[in-house]
Amino acid sequence: MSRPNWKTLTTSTQFNQWYWSKEELEDICRQMGLPFTGRKFDLRDRIMYALDNNGKRKPTDKKKNTTSKFNWARSPLTLDTKITDNVSFGPNFRSFMKSQIGNAFSCHSDFMDWVKASAGKTLGDAITQWHLLEDRKKDPDFKREIADNNMYAQYTRDFLADNPGLTLKDASKYWLLKRNLPMKDGFVRYHKNDLNLS
């Protein structure tokens, strides 16, 4: 059974049986006249709501009001700069962090989550935390948590852990085969039986 054209799916339940890439979800939103920016799960939820509600747009949650007016895009940053509730990870922030840490700096999700939860602390504290997060990689047993929406990365990790004699190319092959099959919730998860797909 191959994945049907999305236009033939009339309910959220039908739509949610299938895997859709973010690019596909953006395109479907455009065709349905829905907002097409945002996280992958947000796009999927907008489409599913519209399918069950005669094309209507899903009500949006009100944005949380920030209290700080600090301009993260233009203000000079120092080690003593306080993290605010409107912190932004744009070029100014990244350039400062790179000037302190070097080219090894990367603004990964674990670090950004810490910064967003640390209003009142300083950028000096943030640099210390970045190094602590990086030090975890030295532990051979450490595995970074993979976000739910990064199904390919999770599938690949699970596939290779269960099949040490196979390669990333093999994992990609079975991923492509499996993502075209119907699933209960549209999530592509590795299972031992996937090796029977070819």
Please state the domain extents for the chain.
Answer: 6-52, 72-145, 151-196
Least confident of 63-67, 69-73, 76-80: 63-67
Could you give the C-alpha distances from 31 to 13, 45, 70, in angstroms and in order? 20, 15, 38
To the nearest whole percent, how much of the chain has pLDDT over 90? 73
**What pLDDT, on the 0 to 100 scale, is given for residue 162?**
96
Report the chain's mean pLDDT, rounded to a whole number.
91
**What pLDDT, on the 0 to 100 scale, is given for residue 161?**
93
* Cβ–Cβ under 8 Å, residues 123 and 81: yes
By residue count, the chain amounts to: 198
**What pLDDT, on the 0 to 100 scale, is given for residue 149?**
73
In this structure, the number of other CB atoms found within 10 A of the CB of residue 130 comes to: 22
pLDDT(64) > 70: no
pLDDT(35) > 70: yes
pTM of the model: 0.62
Look at residue 78 and give its three-state secondary structure.
coil
Residue 188: closest CA among 162, 158, 143:
158
C-alpha 87/C-alpha 84 separation (Å) is: 5
